[in-house]
Chain A
Amino acid sequence: MIEMTQLHKTYLMGDTQVHALNGLSLTIGRGELVAIMGSSGSGKSTLLNVIGALDSFDSGSYRFSGKDLHGISQKDAALFRRDHIGFVFQSFHLLPYKTALDNVILPLKYQASVGREERRKKAAAMLCRVGLHDRMNHLPAELSGGQQQRVAIARALVTGAPLLLADEPTGALDSATTEEIMNLLIEINTEGKTVVIVTHEDEIARRTHRIIRMKDGVVA
């Protein structure tokens, strides 16, 4: 599904260049459950953002299911994210003024021809799937951290995107909740999604199929 070779991504910090990705190569197959580990600043988030076309890269090649993603326009990147990627973030990134249900409906609004009623049904079904059938009309502030992350996962899954990218999804949660969220992500993987999780925690990494360790912008 993902084939990367000799990927470079350089940031400018004042006068100094930071090689966030420094000739990285990797492949991830369809249906895999992968953990990306590495010390802080090793380029994990950058890698995840490039995989999800949330960020561009400078050189090298990145093919997603055969499609070349080098130098695509902002619009095409947006459409790529819309059709293929579900993001889950450490701090959930829900819209605070929308209910759980409306947050999950949101990505469907950018989908081609999904009717209003259908959106509602899909979003509600997905919230049930993550165990929040009784919290649909709550605002994020009225939910616990674990519940908010479940809403975020429902939002990432609702469009049917084949790839779920989670950047430290349990970084803000206690260990019991971490366990729940991890169980959920594993279930999702068994249902057929490819799942890539950036994490610091060995407990989590150990439950995945494969661990990719990063160091200074390359796979160690």
Chain B
Amino acid sequence: MNIGIFDSDRWEDIFSHMGKHKIRTFLTAFGVFWGIFLLLLLLGAGSGIENGVFKQFGGVAVNSLHIWGNTTTLPFKGNRPGRWVELTNEDTQAISTLVKGIDIVCPRLRVWWTTTTRYKKKTGSFSMIGTTEDLLEIEPIIIQEGRFINERDIAQERKIAVIGTGVRDILFEKTESPIGSFIDVNGVTFLVAGVFDIESYGGDRRGALETVYLPLSTTQSAFNLPHRIGWYSLLISEGFSAAGVESAVRALFTARHDIDPRDTRAIGSWDSSREYNNLQGLFTGIRLFLWIVGIGTLLAGIVGVSNIMLITVKERTREIGIRKALGATPFSIVSMILQEAFFITSVAGYLGLVAGVFAVEGAASFIRSQPQEISYFSEPEVSISVALAAMGILILSGTLAGLFPALKAAKIHPVIALREE
């Protein structure tokens, strides 16, 4: 029997029938097109927000813990409240030897007063941060030219500087390389050893690039901050929790700096993994919500297709009666109706899929072309797996849309369908 889906006559039947009802076919198709299109748009927007929010981490390692000293708020052991908790090299030593579960301890010291940096006739005011080579493990720093701080710089208190591209652009001509030049910071001369850029950065990218990194030891001596540490960034080992490490370090500092154990505000900390995990959970929820809304929209389209197919079947009652009189089996009637529903949903759905991907990609490239970053939104995307899932839903829905009307058509009694009025 010629009832296969590859039978060209069957397609002719379907096309000639759809051609008779262009507007109806178009509206039906549009429902499905719109459903899939919106589903992809929603998911794209969701991923855009997700990527935008995660970008706020600025590429900081997500298993890192940041901890610093504040002022005390409670009196303790004869000390008055309002005392500054001053971290020192000894704290670095203590963390490294006494706290378990830390891969890397990266101390940092920011010069908190305003400094002026000069090169030839040009000047600028930049962040001065003393640190160690371990910073590369924490921050998304890319060395563009030269090198970063190394162990010997620290050991020998070398007066070298690694400048951000923002610093370079302000102090140096476009044509000249800063490497090997001497810059002057508040009267102290530093040799420029490297230029850095940063990978993705959602926060204050400009501020981050108008930064000069100096060896920690050099910073402590050149700016008269002996032994001082501003804050620590700790990289947590596999299998250890950031929260556990945090309380261990807090306990250590509390003991070493005579802080009331209840005075939690005396030590500040930021656990990137906790925030990251919270956001992960939040976005799992948002994603689920978007899928539900999107599939709801799609279902509305499918119910539309199903309804219109039902009307079509009703209108074609006589035709179906004729076909049955000519020898069409119930199965061939079912497959005829299913094939039409499936064809409409597949073509419309595929177009919706393509349009959705294009729209999301278009939005992504538009955002990329903007000079200013849009906060909390970046790089919307539709992954292959999402597109495949949408396609699967589509195929399933096309079949479902046609099934009910098709079974209805198969039940039509030819004698009743062909009765003379």
Tell me whether A87 is interfacial, beta carbon within 8 Å.
yes
CB <8 Å contact, B16 and A106: no
Partner of A110, one of B326, B415, B418, B420: B326
B247: min CB distance to chain A, Å:
75
Contact for B415 among A55, A83, A159, CB less than 8 A: A55
Identify the closest chain B residue to A106 (Cβ). Answer: B326
Decide if B17 is an interface residue (CB 8 Å cutoff): yes
The residues of B that contact A159 with a CB separation of less than 8 Å are 327
Chain B interface size band reads 20 to 34
Q: Mark A60-80, 1 if CB is under 8 A from B, else 0.
A: 000000000000001100110
Q: A102 CB to closest chain B CB, in angstroms?
A: 8
> Do A110 and B325 touch (CB < 8 A)?
no
Q: Report which of A79, A102, A105 forms a contact with B327, defined as CB distance below 8 A.
A: A79
Check if A93 sits within 8 Å of B418, measured CB to CB: yes
Task: Flag whether B289 is at the interface (Cβ < 8 A).
Answer: no
Asked whether B318 lies within 8 Å of A93 as measured between CB atoms, the reply is yes
Asked whether A82 lies within 8 Å of B16 as measured between CB atoms, the reply is no
Size of interface on A: residues with Cβ below 8 Å to B: 33
Establish whether residues A78 and B420, one from each chain, have CB atoms under 8 Å apart when the complex forms.
Answer: no
If over half of B's interface residues share one DSSP class (helix, strand or loop), that class is named, otherwise mixed; here it is helix
Q: A89-B418, A93-B318 are in contact. Are A74 and B329 (CB under 8 A)?
A: yes
Asked if B325 and A87 sit within 8 Å, CB to CB, the answer is yes
**B264: interface (CB < 8 Å):** no
> CA of A11 to CA of B10 in the docked complex: distance in angstroms?
36
Say how far B48's CB is from chain A's closest CB, in angstroms.
47
Residue of B321, B322, B330 with most partner-chain A CB within 10 A: B322
How far apart are the CA atoms of A136 and B415 in the complex, in Å? 28
- Contact with A97, one of B20, B322, B327, B331 (Cβ below 8 angstroms): B20
Determine whether B90 belongs to the interface, using a CB cutoff of 8 Å to chain A: no
> In the complex, are the beta carbons of A78 and B324 less than 8 A apart?
yes
Contact B1 A112 (CB under 8 A): yes
The residues of B that contact A89 with a CB separation of less than 8 Å are 418, 420
Q: Provide the residues of chain B in CB contact with A91, threshold 8 Å.
A: 420
Which residue of A is nearest B324, CB measured? A78
Q: With an 8 A cutoff between CB atoms, is B328 at the interface?
A: yes
Which of B326, B331, B418 sits near A75, CB closer than 8 Å? B331
Query: Are A98 and B16 in contact, with the CB atoms below 8 A?
Result: yes
Chain A's nearest CB lies how many Å from the CB of B409? 13
* In the complex, B319 has a CB within 8 A of chain A: yes
B322 in contact with A110 (CB, 8 Å): no
Residues of B within 8 A of A97 (CB): 16-17, 20
Asked if B414 lies at the interface with its beta carbon under 8 angstroms from chain A, I say: yes
**Chain A residues within an 8 Å CB radius of B20:** 97
Nearest-Cβ distance from residue B211 to partner chain A, whole angstroms: 75
Tell me if B9 and A49 are in contact (CB < 8 A).
no
Separation of A160 and B322 alpha carbons in the complex (Å): 18
Cβ-closest chain B residue relative to A112: B1
Q: Is A109 an interface residue (CB 8 A)?
A: yes
Q: How far is the CA of A35 from the CA of B326 in the complex (A)?
A: 22
1/0 per residue B1-24: CB within 8 Å of A? Answer: 110000111100000110010000
- Near A by CB (< 8 A), chain B positions 262-315 give none
- State A98–B322 Cα separation when bound (angstroms): 13
| A173 close to B (CB within 8 Å) | no
How far is A81 from B323 in the complex, measured between Cα atoms in Å?
11
Within the assembled complex, what's the spacing in Å between the Cα atoms of A219 and B52? Answer: 86
Given A54-B325, A98-B16: A75 and B1 interface contact (C-beta under 8 Å): no
User: Using Cβ atoms and an 8 Å threshold, which residues of chain B touch A55?
Assistant: 414-415
B415 touching A54, Cβ below 8 Å: yes
Contact A105 B420 (CB under 8 A): no
Knowing A93-B318, A98-B16, the reply to whether A109 touches B9 (Cβ < 8 A) is yes
Residues of A within 8 A of B88 (CB): none
Given contacts A91-B420, A93-B418, A112-B1, contact A81 B332 (CB under 8 A): no
Instruction: Judge whether A93 and B330 touch: CB under 8 Å.
Output: no
Please give me the residue from chain B that is nearest to A172 by CB atom: B420
Q: Is A110 a contact of B17 with CB atoms below 8 Å?
A: no
Q: Which residues of B (388-421) have their CB < 8 Å from a CB of A?
A: 414-415, 418, 420
- Bound-complex Cα distance A110 to B327 (A): 6
User: Of A82, A91, A109, A155, which is in contact with the most chain B CB atoms at under 10 Å from its CB?
Assistant: A109
Instruction: Give Cα distance in the complex from A55 to B325, angstroms.
Output: 10
Is there contact, CB below 8 Å, between B326 and A155? yes
Residues of A near B415 (CB, < 8 A) are: 49, 54-55
Question: Are the C-beta atoms of B420 and A74 separated by less than 8 Å?
Answer: no
Which residues of A from 103 to 155 have beta carbons under 8 Å from B? Answer: 105-107, 109-114, 116, 119, 155
Residues in A with CB closer than 8 Å to B326 are: 81-82, 87, 106-107, 110, 155
In the complex, A97 Cα to B415 Cα: how many Å? 22
Which chain B residues have a beta carbon within 8 Å of chain A's beta carbons?
A: 1-2, 7-10, 16-17, 20, 318-319, 321-332, 414-415, 418, 420
Counting from the closest, the 8 A-B pairs by CB-CB distance are A82-B327, A107-B326, A110-B327, A78-B329, A55-B415, A75-B329, A97-B20, A81-B327
* 17 A–B pairs (Cβ distance < 8 Å), ordered by A: A52-B325, A54-B324, A78-B324, A79-B327, A79-B329, A82-B327, A93-B321, A93-B322, A93-B418, A95-B319, A97-B16, A97-B17, A105-B9, A107-B326, A109-B7, A110-B329, A114-B2
Since A54-B324, A83-B327, A106-B322 are in contact, a sample of 15 more A-B pairs with Cβ atoms closer than 8 Å, ordered by chain A residue number, is: A54-B418, A74-B330, A75-B329, A75-B331, A78-B327, A81-B324, A81-B327, A82-B326, A87-B325, A95-B319, A97-B16, A102-B16, A106-B326, A110-B323, A159-B327
